[in-house]
Amino acid sequence: MNTHKIAVIAGDGIGPEVIAEGIRVLDEAARLDGGFRFEFTHFPWGCEYYRETGRMMAENGIETLSAFDAIFLGAVGAPGVPDHISLWDLLLVIRKSFDQYINLRPVKLLRGAPCPLKGVEIRDVDMTFVRENTEGEYAGSGSWLFKGKENEVVIQDGVFSRKGCERVIRYAYELAKAQGKTLTSISKANALNYSMVFWDQIFEEVGREYPEVKTYSYLVDAASMFMIKDPARFEIVVTSNLFGDILTDLGAAIAGGMGLAAGANLNPERKFPSMFEPIHGSAPDIVGMKKSNPLATVWSASQMLDFFGHEDWGKILIECIEEVLVEKKVLTPDLGGNANTTEVADEIIRKMREYKR
Ligand code: NAD
Ligand code: IPM
Ligand code: MN
């Protein structure tokens, strides 16, 4: 039997709530299929662990994780622990150590999902963001000089390597070519006169290898405006780490909210484990109330199934999410319902069983 070994880092806040449901859904897919199984190993890493040990993960955490086929992560961050410590020492170190240089984030309006934009059809919001995920504005390079003095200076470098830009841009071209879609690059070369000029140059250079792909190039400010005014312009989108972070929360807002926004951190070469996580955070404002929406996590689980070659199941999960959204009977409060986290997952599982009958 084909066994997928998954490291689970449920993390903080609503992370454990949504991940528990994601695991039930994955197990159910395996049970109904009969041809593969999951083996989940839980790691208690996160802000609680930090308070007890002074570390966000075990000292040999990265080495431990490297033995798994994938990582399933909930959310990281809790009041009382500085965010730059909790995130850098867990989430970001995993993305970088495992060279997960592709952050694949669907911004797709599913059937039944609420959209705050006027006059928009579901086919108008159907994008895939390919976000650079290991360098750029998140390189972690910089300095803090004369701390606390009058002449205090901080420097945060953006690091754009040729290899780093080429590989993410090439991945996006390949995706656009395979799906017969347009490719849009989002940058900011008018103001960022080194990094983004370089990005645009590489977008053009790599593009010469893909004459069949129709391309567009937007400045990030204009792109934000068009995502609201005319989202149908965007199909496959490639952008830098920080711009991709911001634009995918904007994307979540037009595609049903944070409770529906999924993401995959991929090491396409499969030399290291890839990581699947909802893009939302630990939501301290609703923690412990069982109000968190598990559907973003279920969508990330669908991305995991795709990644393992079970695309049939990946697709079934999306269709089950759509049915639950269309029926509007069992939804969490963020989507206007009054069901709790587990009830929504129960409903997904019920739909999966109907599918299989
Ligand atoms: P957040 O995504 O946690 O919350 C933003 C808003 O969306 C909140 O009102 C929250 O209740 C709502 N929301 C988020 N997920 C939801 C869900 N599944 N169901 C229903 N509502 C949901 O962002 P924030 O408040 O800016 O950050 C909180 C903490 O999470 C911070 O410590 C931050 O650094 C961290 N964070 C972690 C990740 C991650 O682990 N991937 C991502 C973003 C933020
Ligand atoms: C995300 C998150 C992270 C990011 C934070 C928590 C470091 O916002 O995955 O979108 O900026 O990448
Ligand atoms: Mn984000």
- The question of whether 315 is a catalytic residue gets the answer no
Identify the H or E element spanning 62. helix 61-65
Q: By three-state DSSP, how is residue 28 classified?
A: helix
Q: How far is the CA of 19 from the centre of ligand 3 (A)?
A: 18
Q: What is the pLDDT of residue 281?
A: 98
Q: What is the pLDDT of residue 1?
A: 82
Once rounded to an integer, what is the mean pLDDT over residues 40-65? Answer: 98
- The active-site residue out of 108, 188, 291, 351 is 188
Q: Which residues, in sequence order, are CB contacts of 29 under 8 Å at separation 6+?
A: 301, 305, 310, 313, 316, 317, 352
Mean pLDDT score of the chain: 98
Whether the CB of 103 sits within 6 Å of ligand 1: no
Res. 357: pLDDT tops 90? no
Q: What is the pLDDT of residue 353?
A: 97
Atom of ligand 2 nearest to the CA of 248: 10
Q: What is the pLDDT of residue 307?
A: 98
Pairwise CA distance, residues 13 & 205, whole Å: 44
- The question of whether 249 is a catalytic residue gets the answer yes
- The question of whether 138 is a catalytic residue gets the answer yes
Burial classification of residue 288, based on how many CB atoms lie within 10 Å of its CB (0-12 exposed, 13-18 middle, 19 or more buried):
exposed
Q: What is the pLDDT of residue 62?
A: 98
Atom of ligand 2 nearest to the CA of 77: 6
**pLDDT for 72-126, tens place per residue?**
999 999 999 999 999 999 999 999 999 999 999 999 999 999 999 999 999 999 9
